[in-house]
Amino acid sequence: MLKKKIGIDAGGTLLKIVIEEKGKITYKKYPIEKLDEAMGWLSILAQQAEVNLTGGKAEYLKKRYFPQARVVTEFKATCVGANYLIKQSRLQIASKFMLVNIGTGTSWYLIEEEKTERILGSGIGGGTFMGLGKLLSSKVEYSQLAEQAMEGDRASIDLLVKDIYHPGEPPIEGTLTASNFAKVEKLGVHSESDMMAALVNMIAETIVLLSNQTATYYQTKVIVYIGSTLIENPALQVGLERFSTLVGLTPHFLPDGEYCGALGSLIV
C-alpha cells in the first residue's frame, strides 16, 4: 500500500499544500495568516504520512507540528516541481529555459534539463502588489486589488513614450512606459483602478526587463512564469505576456505553478 505523502511550501504570503494519496494529487492553499488554523486539521491528516517541508517557515512547521518531517531547500524544490508540472502539462518547452517565480518577491532560475541554478532575486513581487496596493486603494483584499487593476487604465498615471513624442510618431512602441506614475500630481484625484493598473504594469515591466537581461546573458529566450502572484491576477499575466513578447521572449504560464515548491518537496 502506497504511503500518503504531504508536501508543504510555507512562504511569505501563502501556505501551499500538496497531498499525494494512492496516486492522486490534491492541491490546497491558505493565507499564511491562517497557518496555525490550517495545521490543526493537517496535523491530524498527516498521521502515518510522510511530510516534506519547504519555504521560509519550514523550520517553524517542523519544530511545532511535524518533528519527523524532511526539510527540502526551497530553490531545489521549486525547480524540481516545475520540471514535473511541465512534463505533466505537455507544454512544448525547450530543454534550457528561465523559470521566474513571482511570489512575495521574485526569483529567477536557469534550468537546463536536470541542472538547476538560482541566478537572480528581486524584492518586486506579490508583496509589492499588496503593500503598495493598500496605499493606493481603499481595498485590502488581494482579489479586490487584482480586479481593480484589470478595470483600470494606466494612461492617466504613467508617462508613456507616445506622450513624450506627441504630436510626432515615437521611434519605438508608443505605449511603453517612459516613467512610472509620472503623471500623478496629487493622490486622491485619480481613480483607484487606474492607479492599480499602473502598479501592476510597473511590476510586470520590471520583471520582464530583468528576465530579458538575464535570459540574454544565459542565451535563452524561453521564460516559464510561476508563482502565487499570478493567481487570479489577469492584469499581471496580460502585462507579462505582452512585454515578454515585445522584447523577443517566449513566455509560458505553468498551470498550478504556485505549487511547484510543495510538489517538488515530495519528489526531491
Q: Is residue 66 part of a domain?
A: yes
At 51, which CATH number?
Answer: 3.30.420.40
Q: Is residue 175 part of a domain?
A: yes
User: Within this chain, do residues 38 and 133 fall inside the same structural domain, yes or no?
Assistant: no
8-38 pLDDT tens trace: 999 888 899 999 998 899 999 999 889 888 8
Identify the CA nearest to 263 among candidates 87, 38, 34, 40. 87
How far, CA to CA in Å, does 139 sit from each of 131, 143, 194? 11, 9, 14
User: Within this chain, do residues 242 and 158 fall inside the same structural domain, yes or no?
Assistant: yes
pTM for the full predicted model: 0.94
Q: Is residue 85 part of a domain?
A: no
Q: Is residue 106 part of a domain?
A: no
195 is in which domain, residue-wise? 126-254
- What pLDDT sits at residue 1? 43
Residue written as cell 526587463?
A: 209
Round to whole Å and give the CA distance between 252 and 254.
6
Round to whole Å and give the CA distance between 15 and 128.
18
Residues 6 or more apart whose CB falls under 8 angstroms from that of 221 comprise: 215, 248, 249, 250
Q: Is residue 13 part of a domain?
A: yes
Positions annotated as catalytic residues are: 74
Q: Is residue 181 part of a domain?
A: yes
Identify the CA nearest to 178 among candidates 196, 194, 195, 201. 201
Q: Is residue 113 part of a domain?
A: no
CB 230 within 8 A of CB 259: no
What domain count does the chain have?
Answer: 2
Round to whole Å and give the CA distance between 164 and 12.
39
pLDDT truncated to tens, each residue of the chain (268 aa)? 468 999 999 988 889 999 999 889 999 999 988 988 888 888 888 888 999 999 999 999 999 999 999 999 999 999 999 999 999 998 889 889 999 999 999 999 999 988 999 999 999 999 999 999 999 999 999 999 999 999 999 999 999 999 999 999 999 999 999 999 999 987 778 999 999 999 999 999 999 999 999 999 999 999 999 999 999 999 999 999 999 999 999 999 999 999 999 999 999 8
User: Within this chain, do residues 242 and 166 fall inside the same structural domain, yes or no?
Assistant: yes
How would DSSP label each residue in 21-33?
A: ETTEEEEEEEEGG
User: Within this chain, do residues 156 and 248 fall inside the same structural domain, yes or no?
Assistant: yes
How many other CB atoms sit within 10 Å of the CB of residue 171? Answer: 8
Domain end residue (candidates: 34, 52, 71): 71
The strand pair at 115-122 and 159-160 is best described as unpaired
User: Within this chain, do residues 67 and 134 fall inside the same structural domain, yes or no?
Assistant: no
User: Within this chain, do residues 162 and 245 fall inside the same structural domain, yes or no?
Assistant: yes
User: Within this chain, do residues 171 and 248 fall inside the same structural domain, yes or no?
Assistant: yes
- Residue 249, φ and ψ in degrees, nearest 5: -90, 160
Residue 155: DSSP 8-state: G
Helix (H) or strand (E) holding 118: strand 115-122
